[in-house]
Amino acid sequence: MWRRLALVMALGGSLSACAGGPRVGGSYERVANPSNVLATDLALARLAREKGQLDALSKYATSGAIVLSSMGGTAFPASGKAADNAKADSWVPQSVWASCDGSLVVTYGAITKADGASGEYATVWQRQSKGDFKWAVHLENLKSTAPLAPDFIQAKVADCAKRDRPGPFQRESGKSAMALVNQLTATGGEGVSHDRTLSYRWRHTGDDTKFSVTMKRNGQDEDVLTMQAQGGR
């Protein structure tokens, strides 16, 4: 865990050129800071071990947070049981994708359940009006082999259109820069960053739920993550 925290700190330094600007008079510079979300994901995992998983997840959840499984999407915390609060899973983020403006971020990594099962997970994070991050979507695939830990956490930030690049007076209020999350459709749901450089969607058919993430890279929409939901919080 300490090695992971060190990597997050190193990542924050290496991404200083695109680090999120400080909060000034209730406004934010429109730039991403993936290291903030990685630190939040790790803090959530630590709090789950110390205070109980459901309590920790509730503290960091958006008001409309959902958990995906092979049966589709379920509102949190309706998907959990109070008796499970003492059971804490263990997870470590290995990759992160952020929109140019930092309003939407997705983390991906390996997870080990309290019962010993393991696999992969993904979490969608939405920046709040005060600059903190809360999770909006979570899914796990426990039928997949847990991804091997990389030497370094992989972080990617979506390309920015020229009009979206930060400048000395180019700021937006935190509230207006929030991403749209959990917009329900007939067969699933979707969300998109405020600047539309990062988006996700999930589709449920029969007993299968598929989740994908797309980001702007080199002027094109690039699929950066695709996975199935099997199991969940």
| pLDDT tens column, 157-175 | 999 866 544 543 344 444 4
Is 231 within 8 Å of 141 (Cβ atoms)? yes
Tally Cβ neighbours within 10 Å of residue 78: 9
CA dist 218 and 65 (Å) reads: 31
pTM for the predicted model, two decimal places: 0.81
> Over the stretch 163-222, which tens digit does the pLDDT of each residue have?
544 543 344 444 447 899 988 877 899 999 999 999 999 999 888 899 999 999 998 999
Residues of the chain whose pLDDT is less than 70? 1-30, 78-86, 161-176, 231-233
Q: Where are the domains of the chain?
A: 2-228
Give the Cα separation of 215 and 226 in Å (integer). Answer: 12
CATH number for the domain formed by residue range(s) 2-228: 3.10.450.50
